[in-house]
Structure 1
Amino acid sequence: MTAPLDALFLAEVNQHLGIAHKVCRMYVSAVEEQEDLLQEIMYQLWRSYASFQHQARFSTWMYQVCLNTAITCLRKNQKNKAKALTGKHLQIPDYTYAPSEDHLEILYRAIGNLTAVNKALILLYLEDLSYEEMAQITGLTVSNVSVRLVRTKKELEKQLNNLSKTENVRHDRVKK
């Protein structure tokens, strides 16, 4: 890229950097993995910026690149983990209770249980994007976005209820 294009890219990315951070937080929970994903997202944004046609808003394009990169990385990691899971590598998840965990953490955990596409829709919904913008970013039709959001909200509500009950039980055990 040329120097003026570099400066424009940096200005636009810095203005919308929160998008990349939100996507990273939505798709991976470990801080180190979030940092790795953020680096990959920045690389993909840089790589594809020259082909950005400015037909959509920069933030819409950035969401598209961020979500596609996150989903691609997630799929690669799942394939690699599936190959690595043999008897001696099998790890039991850590279910330690963190009493300082707030409602936002519970929300992120519930969202973490959704499919990759549904995570993207919830993220875009929480950003107050229109159904048309969500459709443009995800490649779904507007009606499909609408239907999926209704179903995803119901699924998320169930997840939140289950997690809240689990947290209350854990909290009661800690008190005793």
Structure 2
Amino acid sequence: MTKDLEHQFVKELECNQNIVHKICTLYTSDRDSHNDLFQEITIQLWKAYPKFRGDSKFSTWMYRVALNTAITLYRKSKRSVPTQDYESVIFKIKADEYDPTQEQQLKLMYNAIRQLGDIDKALIFLYLENKDYREIAETLGISEVNARVKMNRIKNRLKTILNP
């Protein structure tokens, strides 16, 4: 890879790294696993970057690579040693913004989302990132209509999980 391509990749990754961190939070339950997944996603992005044609926004392409990597590793991990319990995850929240009720609601929501299937997790993540259905469909490789139908089903499933 040329230095220009390398510089361009690093710049794009720095600007969009929150995407990767959020995906890592959805698919892991402890800091070490989060860091491992972040590293693996970064490696996969780096390997795939020369093939990025720019047909879509970098962030959309990044979602696709990151989600595919997370789903692949998540499926492999289901066959091996279980991860640490969610309660042990430490959140970095500024003291002046700390709201114990909000933190508890976030924990409940993340626990509910973790009960969803791999594709459903990815879809709800993109929805919570305020992506429109066209971009969700493009990122996940499904039709826009399918994305809407799946989203309605996911919302109903989350309601059932959160309000048994």
TM-score, normalising length from structure 1? 0.80
Mark the runs of 5 or more structure 2 residues left unpaired by the alignment: 88-99
Inter-CA distance 14–30: structure 2 relative to 1 (3 Å threshold):
same
With over 3 angstroms needed to count, the CA separation of the structure-2 counterparts of 1:94 and 1:54, relative to structure 1, is closer
Deviation at 1:81, TM superposition (A): 4.1
* Aligned counterpart, 2:140: 138
CA-atom RMSD, angstroms? 1.9
Q: 1:102 aligns with which of 104, 113, 118?
A: 104
Q: 1:94 to 1:142 in 2, by over 3 A?
A: closer
Please say which structure displays the higher CA radius of gyration.
1
Structure 1: which amino acid aligns with 2:37? L
Q: Would the alpha carbon gap of residues 80 and 54 (structure 1) be closer, same or farther in structure 2, given more than 3 Å must change?
A: same
Alignment partner of 1:13 is 2:5: no
Q: Who is 1:87 aligned against?
A: none
| Aligned partner letter, 2:39 | Q
Letter in 2 for 1:7: H
Percent identity between the aligned chains?
A: 42
Using the alignment, how far apart are the partners of 2:79 and 2:39 within structure 1?
20
Question: Any unmatched runs of 5+ in structure 1?
Answer: 83-92, 163-176
Number of residue equivalences: 149
Distance 2:76 2:8 in 1: 31
Cα distance in 2 between the residues matched to 1:5 and 1:121 = 30
Instruction: Find runs of 4+ consecutive structure 1 residues off by over 4 angstroms.
Output: 93-96
Match of 1:35 in 2: 35
Provide Cα deviations, 1:59-117, integer angstroms capped at 9, x if missing partner: 000000000000000111112349xxxxxxxxxx9798xxx652111111111111111
Q: Describe the SS at the equivalent of 1:80.
A: coil
How far apart, CA to CA, are the structure 1 residues paired with 2:154 and 2:141? 17
Q: Provide TM-score, normalisation by structure 2.
A: 0.85
Matched residue type, 2:17: L
Counterpart residue identity of residue 155, structure 1: R
CA distance in 2, matches of 1:95, 1:122: 19
